Amino acid sequence: MAVIGGGPGGYVAAIKAAQLGLKTVCVEKRGSLGGTCLNVGCIPSKALLHASHKYEEITKGHLKGYGIEATAELDFGAMMKSKEKAVTGLTKGIEGLFKKNKVDYVVGHGTITGPNTLTADGKTMEAKNIIIATGSEPSPLPGVPVEVDEKRVVTSTGALSLPEVPKKMIVIGGGVIGLELGSVWSRLGSEVTVVEFLPDICAVADGDVIKTFTRILKKQGMVMQTSTKVVGVDVKPDTIVVSTEPAPGGKGEPATLECDVVLCAVGRRPYTSNLGLDSVGITTDRIGRIEVDGSFKTKVPSIWAIGDVIDGPMLAHKAEEDGVYVVEQIAGKYAHVNWDTVPSVIYTSPEVAWVGKTEEQLKKDGVAYKKASFPLMANSRARANDEGTDGFVKVITDAESNKLISAHIIAPMAGDMILPLTIGVEYGASAEDIARTCTAHPTVSEAIKEACLGIHAKPIHF
């Protein structure tokens, strides 16, 4: 079996295939395994989010409430080296896993030349099955000229490697990537303005989450300009001028904003060019996604596609699940994947996490539901830590059976807290099942139990 792409979907698929006894080769052109996620995405951004949060705790006086007086001096170079150390260690770790599991690794651009053949780095390889796992790249925005060196007008890649902290940054796009990276530079001292075309930031989240999250980010110093369209970016020697106008339905007048760095974070698009798809008759949709059936097979039965190159959430963990799903089918094993229970996380401070549909989606679909929320202000651990008390846990269940439909959290470590609720949604647990499960005290996770008690009976502490 051959896997084109060494990101989360590709390397996991390759390792799983080898574990199931399939002779496997993984082709990756970057020269460093882990894909966008590990090299210029998930991992370096989380390293900077963590480091900048520690810095902000001191510089904004957050530790004074604990009786700790401290001052901080930013060693920007050391912070960036720490980020790179994390990336390098993990990429080398994947190479070690390949060796341990006997996965062949070829560095080069993989090109499909037939139903069972591909080339890379001048080598021709044959494979009974081929998995396309080439991931995605930042989407461009007309009128925003991202620079080749990504120093002043940047994508998420450049925003992770700026040479210094900009005095002013404009983030185009109020989605997950824009808010996370905007948070990093805001904490380090940059004046950050987020310009979002839609009426709300993070429009895919639950309405209650959006309201609270927006308030928290504004309180932290980030400026939000929603219902605003960017119509041009003019890069001058000593400044960058961003021209805006109201989006359809928005209010106000055309305006200009000046900054030192512009981050274009308007989403990602599948990376499916120059793969030789046409040579074997594999088709893509209007935005470049490979068309597959329910088993993730393309029109060529021996060629499969997973992760960001097909429909579904563009998330690393979704790609991993896709990869295992395909490999288990190829190996003749039971295979399972469920996009409806893929959790989403925004790693700001506090974090935001959810699984399942929003309340607004359920209303639109005409689903009868119940809901209950528990505020972290009433949670003993959050109060004791004086951390994340603006947040909450919200659960939504089927109106008749009380089975969990979805869950939405704003809290420190919300990305970890969403796991039991994801399990509950996946396996049809009811709010009563969660409410009757003993939860350690004192923990922030007790808010999950209390929210479910709000459906099943009544919360104890609110």
- 260: pLDDT confidence band, cut at 50, 70 and 90? very high
Nearest to 251 by CA among 199, 211, 204, 194: 199
- pLDDT tens-digit map of 77-96: 999 999 999 999 999 999 99
What's the token pair of residue 157?
A: 């890649």
Rounded to two decimals, what is the model's pTM? 0.96
Q: How many CB atoms lie within 10 A of CB 127?
A: 20
Q: Has residue 181 got a pLDDT over 90?
A: yes
> Is the Cβ–Cβ distance between 132 and 280 less than 8 Å?
no
Q: Has residue 26 got a pLDDT over 90?
A: yes
Q: Is the peptide bond before 442 cis (omega within 30 degrees of 0)?
A: yes
- 432: pLDDT confidence band, cut at 50, 70 and 90? very high
Whole-number average pLDDT of the chain? 97
Domains and CATH numbers, the chain: 2-137+269-340 (3.50.50.60), 153-266 (3.50.50.60), 350-456 (3.30.390.30)
- What pLDDT is recorded for position 191? 98
> Among all chains, which residue has been given the structure tokens 């989006």?
247
Q: Tell me, what amino acid is at 379?
A: N
CA distances for 366 relative to 6, 361, 431, angstroms: 41, 9, 21
* CB-based burial, 351-382: b 16+ in 10 Å, e otherwise: bbbbbbbbbeebeeeeeebbbbbbbbebbebb
DSSP SS3 for 455:
helix
DSSP SS3 for 33:
coil
CA atoms 77, 81, 87, 88: torsion sign: positive
Q: At what angle do helices 8-19 and 76-101 cross, to 10 degrees?
A: 30
Catalytic residues: 441
Determine the Cα–Cα distance for residues 181 and 176; give it in Å rounded to an integer. 9
DSSP SS3 for 414:
helix
- 148: pLDDT confidence band, cut at 50, 70 and 90? confident
Q: Has residue 121 got a pLDDT over 90?
A: no
pLDDT (average), residues 2-28: 98
- What pLDDT is recorded for position 316? 98
